[in-house]
C-alpha cells in the first residue's frame, strides 16, 4: 500500500511575502507534496496552520504514516493540544520529518526534550552538504556531496540530543558547519531532522533535496500497527501478578485506581 504522508506548513510567508509566493505558488507544503506524489508509492496531502485543528485532527493523524512539518514564523500560534496530539502520534509509531526552522516547533522541541537552539545568518550563501553515512537509506542515490547556491546559514552548537545517526553535515560559505541531517527514535516513531529549506530560496525545487525528502518518508514509515494507549499507566493488582505474591506493605491506591500524573 502507498505510504500516507501529510505535509504540514504554517503557510504564513507564502501569504505575506512576494518572493516566497513567487517561488512556491502552492505554498512550500504544496511543493513538497507535489514532489512526494510524483515519486511513486507515496500519497501526500497537505495541512496548514490556518485550518481547524491546524488540519491535524485525531482521525487524520491516525491515518497518517509520516508527517512532514515546515514552520518558521508562527511556532507560538500552534495549539498546545495539537502539538501534544502530534507527539503522541509519533510515540505510537507515526514518522515525523522536521524541516528547516522546525527545530523550534513545539512538537519537535517536545520530542527532543532540549532547547534546540543554534546560530544563524540570512545572507544567501552557498551550502555544501556532505553525506556522512553513505549506506543510509535517506542518502540513497545521492553523490558524496552536493551544493545549494543560496541558503540561510545554521551553525553549531545545535542544542539537540545526540542523534542515532548523522546523515548529513553542512558547510557554509562563511565558514560554519552544522549537523544538518539527524535521525532519532521516539517511542515507536522514526524522526528525521533536515536543515535546508529557507523560504526565500528555491531549495525545495532542487533535485537532490527532493531525493532526500522522498527517501526520508520511506525511511520514517513504520508499517507495524500503531501502539495503543501510549500514555496509559495501568495499575496491575496483586491478584494479576504473573507470579504469586503477597501484599507486604501499605499503599496509597486501591486496585484499578489511577496513579498520580
Render pLDDT for 73-85 as a digit per residue (tens, 0 to 9): 999 999 999 999 9
Q: How far apart are CA 45 and CA 25, in angstroms?
A: 16
Weakly modelled stretches of the chain, pLDDT under 50: none
Q: How many domains does the chain have?
A: 1
Q: Name the residue range of residue 190's domain.
A: 3-113+180-220
Residues 6+ apart with CB under 8 A from 229: none
Nearest C-alpha neighbor of 134 from the set 119, 126, 145 = 145
Contact 45, 26 (CB under 8 A): no
Q: What is the pLDDT of residue 261?
A: 74
247 belongs to a structural domain: no
Q: What is the pLDDT of residue 207?
A: 98
81 belongs to a structural domain: yes
Alpha carbon separation from 180 to 16, 51, 95 (Å, rounded): 28, 30, 18
Q: How far apart are CA 64 and CA 104, in angstroms?
A: 22
141 belongs to a structural domain: no
83 belongs to a structural domain: yes
127 belongs to a structural domain: no
168 belongs to a structural domain: no
Q: What is the pLDDT of residue 256?
A: 80
Q: What is the pLDDT of residue 259?
A: 79
Q: What is the pLDDT of residue 157?
A: 98
Q: What is the pLDDT of residue 142?
A: 98
Q: What is the pLDDT of residue 57?
A: 98
238 belongs to a structural domain: no
78 belongs to a structural domain: yes
Q: How far apart are CA 204 and CA 197, in angstroms?
A: 7
Grid cell for residue 221: 514509515
Q: What is the pLDDT of residue 214?
A: 98
Q: Which CATH number fits the domain that encloses residue 68?
A: 3.40.50.880
Query: Which secondary-structure segment (H or E) carries 15?
Result: helix 13-16
E-strand stretches of 19-155: 42-48, 66-70, 95-99, 119-131, 145-155
Amino acid at each position: 500500500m502507498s505510504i500516507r504522508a501529510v505535509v504540514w506548513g504554517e503557510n504564513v510567508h507564502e501569504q505575506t511575502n512576494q518572493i516566497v509566493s513567487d517561488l512556491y505558488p502552492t505554498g512550500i507544503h504544496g511543493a513538497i507534496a507535489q514532489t512526494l506524489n510524483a515519486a511513486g508509492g507515496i500519497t501526500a496531502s497537505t495541512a496548514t496552520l490556518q485550518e481547524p485543528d491546524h488540519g491535524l485532527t485525531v482521525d487524520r493523524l491516525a491515518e497518517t504514516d509520516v508527517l512532514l512539518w515546515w514552520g518558521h514564523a508562527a511556532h507560538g500560534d500552534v495549539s498546545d493540544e495539537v502539538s501534544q496530539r502530534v507527539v503522541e502520534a509519533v510515540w505510537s509509531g507515526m514518522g515525523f520529518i522536521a524541516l528547516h526552522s522546525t527545530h523550534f516547533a513545539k512538537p519537535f522541541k517536545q520530542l527532543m526534550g532540549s532547547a534546540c537552539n543554534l546560530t544563524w545568518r540570512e545572507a544567501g550563501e552557498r551550502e555544501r552538504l556532505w553525506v556522512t553515512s553513505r549506506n543510509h537509506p535517506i542518502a540513497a542515490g545521492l553523490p558524496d556531496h552536493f551544493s545549494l547556491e543560496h541558503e540561510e546559514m545554521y551553525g553549531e552548537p545545535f542544542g539537540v540530543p545526540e542523534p542515532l545517526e548523522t546523515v548529513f553535515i553542512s558547510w557554509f560559505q562563511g565558514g560554519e558547519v552544522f549537523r544538518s541531517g539527524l535521525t532519532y527514535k521516539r517511542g515507536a516513531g522514526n524522526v528525521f531532522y533536515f536543515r535546508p529549506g529557507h523560504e526565500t530560496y528555491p531549495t525545495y525545487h532542487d533535485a537532490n533535496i527532493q531525493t532526500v525528502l522522498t527517501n526520508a518518508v520511506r525511511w520514517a514509515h513504520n508499517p507495524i500497527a500503531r501502539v495503543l494507549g501510549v500514555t496509559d499507566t495501568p495499575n496491575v493488582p496483586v491478584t494479576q501478578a504473573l507470579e504469586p505474591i503477597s501484599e507486604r506493605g501499605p499503599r496509597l491506591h486501591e486496585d484499578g485506581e489511577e496513579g498520580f500524573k
